[in-house]
Amino acid sequence: MNKNTVLSWATFIMIAMGILLIALGAFKYDDVAGWGFAAVGVGFFANAWVFNALKGRV
């Protein structure tokens, strides 16, 4: 596996975790913890966006 493949897998895993965390915040936790889970899920999306932007440049 080269660097671009590793970044692709990292992007895919971070998007999946972001969706999972946002879903947990939306459907499982109805109190303040749900907002925290959703915020962390959005942070995972931001990191996945950075990893996707780094493909081909590293």
pLDDT tens, position by position, 43-55 = 999 999 998 888 8
Number of domains the chain contains: 1
- The distance of Cα 2 from the centroid of its chain, to the nearest Å, equals 21
Q: What is the pTM of this model?
A: 0.84
Q: What is the pLDDT of residue 49?
A: 92
pLDDT tens, position by position, 21-43 = 999 999 998 889 999 999 999 99
Q: For residue 57, what pLDDT band results from cuts at 50, 70 and 90?
A: confident
Q: What is the pLDDT of residue 3?
A: 85
- CB-based burial label for 57 (10 Å; 0-12, 13-18, 19+): exposed
Residue of 55, 46, 58 whose CA lies nearest to 14: 46
Integer angstrom CA distances of residue 19 from 25, 27, 40: 10, 12, 10
Q: Supply the range of the domain harboring residue 12.
A: 3-54
Q: Are 9 and 25 in contact (CB under 8 A)?
A: no
